[in-house]
Structure 1
Amino acid sequence: MVNLRSLEIFYWAAQLNSFSRAAEKLNTTQPTISQRIAGLEDQFGTQLMNRSSKPISLTPSGRALLVHAELILRQVAKLEQEFDLSMQAPRTIRLGVSETIVHTWLARFLGETHRCFPNIDFDITVDVTPSIMSGLRDGEIDIGLMLGPATIDGMACLHLVDYSLRFYAAPGVIQGNRLTVDELKRLPIITFPRQTYPYSHLREKLFSLTGQTPRIFTNSSQATIERMAADAIGVALFAEGALSPSSANALVAVESDLELPPMSFYAFYMLGVGSEILESLVGIARKVAAASSAP
């Protein structure tokens, strides 16, 4: 008889094209993945995976088994869902989160999730969008709450919330509390890293307004951005409403004619076997995010 755990391991190794990524996702070791798949190959009497290729690939027999494995695993997931077993089982969800969400509604999301699914724990990684996306692709993260949208094969992308961008500065740094073109030439803007929004839009806008190469200081930590602005190094730019309580008295919102598109946040997770619980958690995230932006 075919072992269900072995089918699950085979399925995720095939989906992620990697033994190590499958081991990370299934919270096991790479040797265990290799042994389980070798056991299936012995059982079926045929090679299922080309291990010499990078990434690994399925043989014709492997592709045939993948069809059956997905059907079986989906049926098991449906059975568990019908009897509410998947929701009751203790498990850890690996969550990748943009720092803006940490400063706005992450605590409410965790509280609501615990109320609905008390047996679920979270392993939380706070990082920039490109790193979270890489973790999702590699199977190291189950759900990513980050900037979007993006079209990725096999991955859900659901809108959460939009936040307007706002400038913040230490009191007295900006005359009249309005960021003019002259001020933009004089002071650097402190914001998120180059590979993330709003850096690219900001740079183009500043260049067209000032006619000179803009001074932009970047950092992946909003707490550091706030600290630098509080020390009058420059003017901070991040999501409106995300100012941390510790900086409430150190920074003031600054008006500006510089218009930038909002920061749009989306939830990403891999579709397929076992995605039902992820879909439920993202549903909670969408409700909490919507409530956080309501007037």
Structure 2
Amino acid sequence: MLQGDFLSCGTLSSPEIAEEVMVSFRSIEVFYWTAHLRSFSRAADRLNTTQPTISQRLRAMEELIGEPLLNRAAKPIALTSAGRTLFRHAELLLRQVAAMERDLDLSRHMEGTIRLGVSETIVQTWLATFLEQVARHFPKLDIDMTVDVTPSMMNALRDGDIDIALMLGPTILDGFTCIELKDYPLKFYAVPGLVPGNAISLRSMPSIPIITYPRNTYPYIYLRETLFRQTGRNPRIFTNSSISTIERMALDGLGVALVAEGTLSGESMKKLKTVDSDIDLKPLSFYAYFQAGVQHDTFEQLAEIAAQVAAGAP
């Protein structure tokens, strides 16, 4: 991102006046991210600076404009009328700079850190290939990665703690765009002999422990509600956020694993068998979510790389 040069805010008649009626591009950037993230501390983290520096720049802008841009008493902070006007112009300006950088193919020289959230299903399948492709297209870009469940990543996106998330969808997030990545069928897996006839049904399932994703995920919620409606009993479901732990528990014969197809290791698949079932489970659909607005082009390029890699993954 271009930084540092001054933008004129009026007609200049002398160098002294120029110092008073100019706003730096960096200050515009600081204002935009503070308003967008609604937090001084998050803006400081986003721009790799300190909170006092953020406050100082914003105070200087408010003194120049002659009225407050932010309502600091609101929790979280909110824009004033003047702030809303400036925010519209700031977003247009930053978008135009991003478009210029794209047209000049400056993205390949982009430096900085992108904060990536990713579901473990993707970690276990095609994440390594995705990171290799990102490094090829953006050799100077660093990836700060967090592996988490979808509800947590949704909150992190809204709070500005991550920039892009590869997670379950679809869902509507205000201010965010998404690109479809890949569907993964849900399958039951168990060691041979654990499940009579190697088939699991609504009638037999309450007596057989199921090992699957955490309680706030679709597989657990759907499976529990479906079985409870059909049988009137709570099924035995063990949950874990770690695919490797689910895999280990299934290998130890502690229950039947319910996970996305392709996430178990090749070595484990030599010992585990797919279990037939009459339960209609929708596939896990993964999407790339990223912010609309400033830096949209960069995030979209990363999402498109993810979609291409996912399409080529087994």
Q: TM-score normalized by structure 2? A: 0.89
Q: Secondary structure at the match of 1:104?
A: coil
* Contact 1:136-1:142 within 8 A present in 2 as well: yes
Q: Which residue identity is paired with 1:224? A: T
Query: Does the Cα contact within 8 Å between 2:125 and 2:313 map onto a contact in 1?
Result: yes
> What displacement does 1:43 show?
2.2
Shift of 1:207: 2.1
2:233 equivalent in structure 1 = 212
With over 3 angstroms needed to count, the CA separation of the structure-2 counterparts of 1:42 and 1:246, relative to structure 1, is farther
**Deviations 1:13-69 (Å, cap 9, x if unpaired)?**
111211122223223332222222112112222211110110111111111211221
Q: Unaligned stretches of 5+ in structure 1?
A: none
The answer to whether 1:127 aligns with 2:148 is: yes
Which runs of 5 or more residues in structure 2 are unaligned? Answer: 1-21
CA-based RMSD of the aligned residues comes to 1.6
Q: Specify the code of the residue in structure 2 equivalent to 1:40.
A: M
Does the Cα contact within 8 Å between 2:179 and 2:304 map onto a contact in 1? no
Per mean C-alpha deviation after superposition, the further-off stretch among 161-170 and 106-115 is 106-115
Which amino acid in the other structure matches residue 48 of structure 2? N
Partner Cα separation in structure 2 for residue 246 and residue 128 of structure 1: 25
Q: Distance in 2 between matches of 1:247 and 1:120?
A: 35
> Within 2, Cα distance between the matches of 1:32 and 1:109?
36
The answer as to whether partners of 1:87 and 1:277 remain within 8 angstroms in 2 is no
Kept after mapping to 1: 8 A contact 2:110/2:138:
no
**Cα pair 2:117 2:162 within 8 Å, conserved:** yes
Q: Which of 110, 113, 130 is the matching residue for 1:92?
A: 113
Residue 263 of structure 1: which of 284, 288, 305 is its match? 284
CA offset at residue 279 of structure 1? 0.5
Confirm or deny that 1:140 pairs with 2:161.
yes
Which of residues 242, 245, 259 is equivalent to 2:263?
242
In structure 2, give the amino acid aligned to 1:166. K
User: Structure 2 CA distance, aligned partners of 1:132 and 1:244?
Assistant: 25
Which stretch shifts more, 243-252 or 146-155? Answer: 243-252
Whether 2:59 is the aligned partner of 1:48: answer: no
Match of 2:310 among 262, 282, 289: 289
How far did residue 192 of structure 1 move? 0.9
Higher deviation after alignment, 82-91 or 54-63: 82-91
- Partners of 1:135 and 1:13 in 2: CA distance: 16
- Is structure 2 residue 62 aligned with structure 1 residue 62? no
Q: Which one-letter code corresponds to 2:108 in the other structure?
A: M
> Aligned pair count?
293
Structure number, greater radius of gyration: 2
- Higher relative contact order structure (alpha carbons within 8 Å, sequence separation ≥ 6): 1
The separation in 1 between residues aligned to 2:194 and 2:51, in whole angstroms, is 55
